[in-house]
Amino acid sequence: MKKKRVKKAVKKTVNRLSARPSIKPFGDRILVKPFSQDEIEGNKNHHGIIIPETIEKEKSAQGKIIAVGEGKYVDGKLVPMRVKVGETVFFSKYGYDEVTQNNEELYLIKEENILAVIR
């Protein structure tokens, strides 16, 4: 019985470690997982915001933050990031760099290109 519990605990730990991104944003950059079409039900996302039909042709401009850099230095002082891992954000459609990890498309975005946080 103890072996089963140990195996379960090890499996959970491995799953958590593999779920963490191996990409660590530098400076004032944020790593975002954009929402897919499956996550946008009908013409609404899970927050009730209506999405236009043209969204199918365009890439998503909203997603969930999965990693955050340490912040930006201004006049020699570190200004911490204002967003946190797990928050859902709107971002500029043209203000990101695409990266791929484990066949998953992610966006690297500067904090200044975050337009809003959905709460």
pLDDT tens digits, one per residue of 41-97: 544 555 666 656 555 556 678 999 999 999 999 999 999 999 999 999 999 988 899
Q: How far, in Å, CA of 64 to CA of 83, rounded?
A: 11
| pTM as predicted | 0.68
Pairing of strands 88-91, 114-118: antiparallel
Q: How far, in Å, CA of 78 to CA of 74, rounded?
A: 6
Nearest by Cα to 23 from 111, 110, 108: 108
- Domains present along the chain, CATH in parentheses: 22-118 (2.30.33.40)
Backbone angles phi, psi at 38, to 5 degrees: -65, -30
Structure tokens at 63: 């997603």
Number of Cβ within 10 Å of residue 74's Cβ equals 9
